[in-house]
């Protein structure tokens, strides 16, 4: 399902589009010497291979010795990246600024420091307009160095040096501040990855203490925060409320994060990845709080943005758009209970998934499989649901969050029950019990559900309706507890139980 680690050069060449390959050939063919032509031949050989095979590469390049191949590959790798840089320089503002900064250094090195200063003044404005704080600071430090070492006549302009020093000090403070806010965001998100949601009052106290300890409160006073400072701050608060199971609070800060992009269109265009990330997480929280109308509105915004800018996306942006947009579309079908529409979308996503599977995080791929399985479960196509659940369960990986595995294994057991495979419940339940015992972020509902399924396998089928009724009463008690809210996120056990009670009463469900 997931490929092993590939040769880096092979992976890079296989990632190129036809246009990128054509541009590389035009760039590379400016060389005419025999030594340089070897790397072009190596490019053609690797491009034709389905899988990287060094012996096959050497066989197709008879003039290349094995000991020379690593150097030739490094040279080709560098040349490909250089040609890509030329393509994307107009699409990435930071690459544009860095190129101009390099030109300024070259001019300075030739003694043309006044020309260098004029170039630095010009690109500084671009850096400010596009919130490139680190590059802005680097430009200022270069300007200061030139002013300190040469007579530039800048001191003849009143307050010019004072303004430069003041700007450098302010930008240095902002860069330091932004670093603290980004650290804060990563720290709070890291808490969630490591510990998950709160399960009791003690854990609430712990996250509150952690949040206050690392929150850069002194930086929130006395000045307006920059775009990225606010973006990091809103994300940190979003994760904090999510950890506390306050989905409404998480959605509130996700809205503010998205609103930053509404106010500054140029950042949305220059950093589409962060914009799509903000939309995705807002849609996740709107899904959790069942805000159907607002969900539909922001999903439409996401789809419109992807349609309008997809031709300008780089490979990473296309991968992010594919992953975040389709996960959101699947959630939309689940939220609206349009299960047939969701099944049609599955076919579209599966057709495209192989293009991204080697570059997308494993957890995202397995989220797709779980949503596929859940949609088929809702359509009562339990056999199809099991196909995707098996892919999740059989993956050998030590870094997945427990909640995905727990939900997948519980749904796996439920599908077998619905298919009448009662013997499979006895066979599979011990592994699920071991998983639950090893997880620190599992609430009561999964444990009670496993116990209930184990009891069903031992009861005669005629007694199952009565067992479902008893379990329903038990669920009503625990679902009133605040720490059980997370249990309904992606696997609605009470709805499944109520469906069986409706069938027992002869109702349509």
Q: How many CB atoms lie within 10 A of CB 73?
A: 19
28-32, 58-62, 97-101: lowest mean pLDDT where?
28-32
- Please state, in angstroms and as integers, the Cα–Cα distance from residue 54 to each residue in 46, 71, 406, following that order: 9, 14, 42
Question: Residue 193 — pLDDT band, cuts 50, 70, 90?
Answer: confident
Neighbours of 237 (CB within 10 A): 22
pLDDT at 504: 47
In whole angstroms, what separates CA 138 from the centre of its chain? 29
Task: Specify the range with the lowest mean pLDDT, choosing from 200-214, 286-300, 399-413.
Answer: 399-413
Higher pLDDT, 336 or 439: 336
Q: Which residue has the higher pLDDT, 509 or 388?
A: 388
Helix 444-456 vs helix 464-478: crossing angle, to nearest 10: 170
Tokens of 428: 């599979």
Q: Can you tell me the distance from the alpha carbon of 138 to that of 127, in angstroms, rounded to the nearest whole number?
A: 10
Give the model confidence (pLDDT) of 68-121 as tens digits.
899 999 999 999 998 888 887 767 788 888 989 999 999 888 888 888 988 999
pLDDT band, residue 155 (cuts 50/70/90): low
Q: Are 447 and 409 in contact (CB under 8 A)?
A: no
- Distance between CA atoms of residues 205 and 237, nearest Å: 16
Mention every residue, 6+ apart, whose C-beta is less than 8 A from residue 44.
none
The reported pLDDT for the residue numbered 265 is: 81
Give yes or no for residue 232 having a pLDDT over 90.
yes
**Alpha-carbon span 430 to 453, nearest angstrom:** 12
Average model confidence (pLDDT) for the chain?
A: 87
- As given in the structure block, the two tokens for residue 204 are 């609430």
Is 172's pLDDT higher than 80? yes
SS3 129: helix
How far is the C-alpha of 426 from the C-alpha of 432, rounded, in Å? 11
Query: For residue 264, what pLDDT band results from cuts at 50, 70 and 90?
Result: confident
Contacts of 340 (CB under 8 A, 6+ apart): 379
Residues written for the chain: 509
Residue 498 pLDDT > 60, yes or no? yes
**Range in 206-215, 354-363, 453-462 the model is least confident about:** 354-363
Q: Which of 4-8, 87-91, 332-336, 493-497 has the lowest mean pLDDT?
A: 4-8
Burial (CB count <10 Å: 0-12, 13-18, 19+), residue 172 = middle
Q: Where are the alpha helices (DSSP H) in 362-492?
A: 362-378, 382-393, 402-418, 422-438, 444-456, 464-478
Spatial CA neighbour of 327 closest among 269, 282, 292, 359: 282
CA distances 43 to 16, 73, 80, 153, Å, are 12, 9, 9, 52
* Residue keyed to tokens 């400016």: 30
Distances (CA, A) of 417 to 117, 384, 466, 492: 74, 14, 16, 16
Percentage with pLDDT > 90 across the chain: 45
Which pLDDT band holds residue 1 (cuts at 50, 70, 90)?
very low
Confidence check: pLDDT of 167 > 70: yes
Q: How confident is the model at residue 255 (pLDDT cuts 50, 70, 90)?
A: very high
pLDDT at 398 exceeding the cut of 60:
no
**Rounded mean pLDDT, 353-364:** 82
125 burial (CB, 10 Å; 0-12 / 13-18 / 19+) is exposed
Tokens 């939900």 correspond to 407
The band of 416, judged by pLDDT with boundaries at 50, 70 and 90, is very high
Q: Where residue 163 falls among pLDDT bands split at 50, 70, 90?
A: confident
In this prediction the pTM is 0.80
Q: Who has greater pLDDT, 132 or 412?
A: 412
Cβ burial of 451 (10 Å; 0-12, 13-18, 19+) is middle
* Residue 4 pLDDT class (50, 70, 90 cuts): very low
Question: Is pLDDT above 70 for 14?
Answer: yes
- What are the C-alpha distances in Å from 266 to residues 130, 227, 253, 255, 278? 7, 12, 22, 19, 16
pLDDT tens-digit map of 307-325: 999 888 888 899 999 999 9
Cα angle value 29/106/109 (rounded, 5°): 135
Q: Which residue has the higher pLDDT, 15 or 358?
A: 15
Nearest-angstrom CA–CA distance, 315 and 16: 9
Is there a contact between 276 and 321 (Cβ–Cβ < 8 Å)? Answer: yes
Q: Give the pLDDT band (50/70/90) at residue 383.
A: very high
Q: What is the pLDDT of residue 452?
A: 93
Which one is predicted more confidently, 87 or 344? 344
**pLDDT band at residue 186 using 50, 70 and 90 as cut-offs:** very high
Reported confidence tier of residue 32, pLDDT bands at 50, 70, 90 = low
**Closest Cα partner for 208 from 178, 237, 185?**
237
Of the pLDDT bands very low, low, confident and very high (cuts 50, 70, 90), residue 219 is: confident
What average pLDDT does the segment 396-410 reach? 75
Q: Distance between alpha carbon 94 and the CA centroid of its chain, in Å?
A: 21
Per-residue confidence (pLDDT) for residue 240, from 0 to 100: 97
Dihedral, CA of residue 402, residue 405, residue 406 and residue 410, to nearest 10: 180
* 196: alpha, beta or left? (left if phi > 0; alpha if psi -120 to 50): left
In 3D space, the residue among 123, 18, 16, 12 whose CA is nearest the CA of residue 77 turns out to be 12
């Amino acid at each position: 399902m997931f490929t092993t680690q590939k040769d880096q050069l092979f992976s890079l060449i296989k990632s190129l589009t036809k246009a990128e390959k054509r541009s590389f050939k035009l760039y590379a063919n400016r060389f005419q010497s025999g030594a340089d032509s070897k790397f072009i031949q190596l490019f053609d050989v690797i491009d034709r291979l389905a899988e990287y095979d060094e012996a096959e590469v050497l066989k197709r390049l008879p003039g290349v010795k094995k000991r020379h191949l690593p150097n030739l590959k490094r040279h080709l790798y560098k040349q490909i990246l250089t040609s890509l840089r030329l393509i994307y320089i107009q699409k990435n503002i930071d690459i544009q600024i860095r190129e101009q900064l390099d030109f300024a250094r070259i001019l300075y090195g030739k003694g043309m420091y006044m020309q260098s200063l004029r170039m630095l003044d010009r690109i500084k404005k671009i850096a400010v307009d596009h919130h490139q704080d680190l590059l802005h600071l680097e430009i200022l430090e270069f300007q200061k160095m030139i002013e300190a070492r040469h007579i530039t006549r800048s001191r003849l302009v009143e307050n010019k040096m004072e303004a430069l020093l003041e700007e450098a000090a302010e930008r240095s403070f902002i860069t330091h501040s932004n670093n603290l806010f980004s650290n804060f965001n990563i720290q709070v998100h890291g808490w969630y990855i490591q510990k998950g949601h709160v399960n009791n009052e003690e854990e609430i106290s712990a996250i509150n203490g952690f949040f206050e300890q690392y929150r850069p409160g002194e930086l929130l006073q006395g000045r307006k925060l920059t775009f990225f400072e606010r973006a990091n701050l809103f994300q940190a608060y979003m994760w904090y409320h999510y950890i506390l199971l306050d989905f409404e609070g998480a959605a509130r800060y996700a809205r503010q994060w998205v609103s930053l992009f509404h106010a500054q269109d140029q950042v949305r265009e220059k950093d589409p990845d962060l914009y799509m990330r903000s939309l995705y997480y807002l849609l996740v929280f709107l899904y959790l709080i069942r805000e159907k109308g607002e969900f539909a509105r922001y999903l439409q915004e996401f789809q419109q943005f992807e349609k309008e800018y997809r031709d300008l996306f780089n490979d990473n942006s296309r991968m992010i758009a594919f992953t975040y947009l389709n996960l959101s579309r699947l959630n939309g079908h689940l939220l609206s209970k349009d299960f047939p529409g969701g099944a049609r979308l599955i076919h579209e996503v599966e057709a495209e998934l192989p293009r991204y599977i080697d570059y997308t995080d494993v957890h995202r791929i397995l989220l797709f499989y779980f949503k596929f399985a859940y949609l088929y479960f809702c359509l009562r196509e339990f056999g199809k649901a099991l196909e995707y659940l098996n892919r999740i369960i059989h993956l050998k990986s030590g870094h997945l969050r427990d909640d995905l595995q727990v939900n997948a294994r519980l749904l796996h057991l439920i599908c077998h029950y619905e298919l009448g495979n009662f013997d499979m419940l006895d066979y599979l339940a011990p592994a699920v019990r071991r998983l639950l015992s090893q997880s620190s972020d599992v609430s009561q509902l999964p444990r009670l559900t496993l116990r209930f399924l184990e009891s069903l396998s031992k009861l005669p089928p005629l007694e199952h309706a009565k067992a479902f009724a008893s379990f329903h009463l038990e669920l009503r008690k625990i679902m009133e507890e605040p720490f059980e809210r997370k249990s309904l996120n992606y696997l609605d056990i009470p709805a499944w139980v109520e469906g069986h009670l409706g069938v027992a009463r002869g109702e349509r469900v």
